[in-house]
Structure 1
């Protein structure tokens, strides 16, 4: 199409998209009008399907939760996602009931209720709203960067390859926004779907992903985890159920903890830096006629590798919180299962190895927000809670969570006995002791006051005989 010959006869992009998703001869005619009639028929059909899926779901700004959910469900379906039978659900409920009975003996934190046996897709459905809260701070930044790169690339392609008239570029803007949203949403969906295929319990990542904090067991994944351990499957289910029930009790009974964890992830994501050069490179090398190839081309790292100073502080805080959560869970779970499970030590070591090798949560967060979610000090945290329990029993161990200002911090992991002896709480209740700088400032102020008093006493206006109306200067009593 030559824009100079027909400047006012530009095809409407919305109508063309309807043709694209309708198929048949209308679609081919519409594609020909865009200069794309030469595409291979097989690619033609694939592109139609991909475009329809991308454009059909309602847009939600820079993030499309319906598209992300759909991709996640397709991901778990591809790997296999058997439904949970009624018998399995009953077994899980009984296992969780036993786990709660054991936990009742070692903590005063109340139970969160009956157990739930979920398939992978059920976990996806339940956790997607929380994933949305976690990634929304970054989705806007990614959307802006991808939009700009797409706009530049399609502008070049339109001008140089397709003969696309300038009048049509304005109609492309809404489509670009939806494509950008779809790209990010597909990436999130793939990450969450992959995670759903690996987690054994609902909150294994250490974050309160499920609303209401139910005790969620994923039987298909537990079976995969148990394969090769050489232990009784019932014992493995019980151990994992105790850990999950302990974690959900903590989130339920410490109301500030879950929001603090979510806020830390959001804060890190909000300060993310997008590597626009990497996106530009991806746009140059991507097939702009193939949305799936476009998504794959930018599915790698699009974040600058060096975190900001603010991100480093946030990461340190997040890692400390996660270490404290898992340290508390380790301590309480060990107390609960040791009298009942003969392989408690071996199971604990298997869980530690699973975490130490960079588990599924770390991979997901690294792909989504460039965040390596690996609490490196879980053993230190477990030692701190064990020391608290030895010194102050159960109430003292669990009382560490009563207020965020009194909860252990990174420094307390270095000096657990200082925390156990109450030094942190004492410091909060007592006025801060002056340090060297305070002493120096006090001395300087005292010196200044002395000099002012000295100047005042030496002033002629203060000498006898220099008052108002006294001209002789002699003592009036002389």
Structure 2
């Protein structure tokens, strides 16, 4: 087949194959052909640089999460400092003592995996799978929106080319987002003090950790003895890890609510098309700034707002419990109250990297009612004790509701009634479930009656079935 016989799609795909090969670049002949197609060669060459790595191994067009890991580790390991043996020993001792104290404050059992001191890079490696799971719906949305924007702006004669390169375009959008996510995670690794510092279960199930490299920054302006600070943070981290190990359903519950929110995100195509129309390949920072600022994410929908409210309640309930249990475990420390207050303020405000995460995925991981939730757990503890309080984590349907946070007297009364062996009061859920079961039973009874009537209609007047040998009669015994 001669060059003149090739379709535009085949010609464009041949160009892409050449560009994506090892050392692929735009030569004079390719520049001329691209100009004839109406493609900006400078922009395409920059795109190819992003794609060459992703497709060198014959990728399937998915999100290149390797870019997230590379960028995050680059920032996390930039200072090159590790953890001294003295720091490891200090935090090992803090964890050991905090474990003993925590066992007095909660009925939830100890961890089976020893807590550890992590470097920033090790924290990135340990938490990256959860970040990826939460961000994937947003990355997919951005990749889809980029493809749609290109299709809507491309001339009619180029539609076939764009459609043929759809897999590549999705990879461009996904890879750009993945790299930006890596930058945010890398910056976050410079701020977090422990595995549960962000509030969600980032660490593998049943694991607790502290980052000594960030510990000094946390306590710099508090004027509190390092030993007290280490004990208090160790107790909080252990309480957080114990809770998620005990309530196996809780981890999936939190992650599901985060991803449900993220799946509702749709990129603002008008903003994306506007960015594409003025995009200058010599100034790639504009795209990075757009992703980081959140300008591509439109205002939340009503469904997303409701999902965020549920998530905030769940995070506040978790961290309120951690706050109360850790306070009881460390009440021997003279500065325990000041440390708890510092932690609460830090979670309420959030650091720069956490704010960047909110802009990137549209989600703020903040327990906005932490103080109210902690007050609820304190009231429950005072009224029924730690064992009854901690039993609320056994099943999802026992969890405190937002109404319980507003007024804990109802949940306290239920716990006290259960302790006396009384049946719990009926609520709307009980009534609805009973009505559903009754309706199902009625339907089943109707089907049985219909089947019985049908059997009677097909039998003879004597109730005996005819045989092949003659008229109906009694069957031999």
TM-score (norm 2): 0.77
Q: State the partner residue of 2:82.
A: 83
Range moving further from structure 2, 201-210 or 48-57: 48-57
Structure 2: how far apart are the matches of 1:288 and 1:428?
A: 69
> 1:273-422 residue pairs with structure 2 within 5 A?
273-288=266-281, 294-302=287-295, 304-339=297-332, 341-359=333-351, 362-422=354-414
Q: Does 1:22 align with 2:15?
A: no
Structure 2: how far apart are the matches of 1:300 and 1:413?
A: 34
| 3-state DSSP of counterpart to 2:109 | coil
Aligned residue pairs: how many?
415
When residues 286 and 352 of structure 1 are mapped into structure 2, their CA distance, relative to the original with a 3 A threshold, is same
Q: Does 1:429 align with 2:424?
A: yes
Q: Does 1:197 align with 2:190?
A: yes
Q: State the partner residue of 1:133.
A: 133
Range moving further from structure 2, 425-434 or 231-240: 425-434
**Contiguous gaps of at least 5 residues in structure 1:** 37-41, 160-164, 435-478
Q: State the partner residue of 1:100.
A: 99
Q: Is contact 2:75-2:186 (8 Å) kept?
A: yes
Structure 1: how far apart are the matches of 2:366 and 2:103?
A: 29
**Contiguous gaps of at least 5 residues in structure 2:** 36-41, 430-477
When residues 47 and 181 of structure 1 are mapped into structure 2, their CA distance, relative to the original with a 3 A threshold, is closer
Larger radius of gyration: 1
Structure 1: how far apart are the matches of 2:59 and 2:46?
A: 22
Range moving further from structure 2, 281-290 or 268-277: 281-290
The alpha-carbon deviation at position 53 of structure 1 amounts to 4.3
Q: Is contact 2:320-2:374 (8 Å) kept?
A: yes
Structure 2: how far apart are the matches of 1:107 and 1:397?
A: 9
Q: Is contact 2:124-2:185 (8 Å) kept?
A: yes
The alpha-carbon deviation at position 54 of structure 1 amounts to 5.2
| 3-state DSSP of counterpart to 1:256 | helix
Q: Is contact 1:54-1:67 (8 Å) kept?
A: no
Q: Does 1:147 align with 2:147?
A: yes
Q: Is contact 1:50-1:292 (8 Å) kept?
A: no
Structure 2: how far apart are the matches of 1:18 and 1:238?
A: 54
Q: Is contact 1:96-1:242 (8 Å) kept?
A: yes
The alpha-carbon deviation at position 91 of structure 1 amounts to 2.9
Q: Is contact 2:293-2:360 (8 Å) kept?
A: no
> 1:227-306 residue pairs with structure 2 within 5 A?
227-288=220-281, 294-302=287-295, 304-306=297-299
Structure 2: how far apart are the matches of 1:224 and 1:140?
A: 36
Q: Is contact 1:103-1:333 (8 Å) kept?
A: yes
When residues 432 and 171 of structure 1 are mapped into structure 2, their CA distance, relative to the original with a 3 A threshold, is closer
The alpha-carbon deviation at position 260 of structure 1 amounts to 0.9
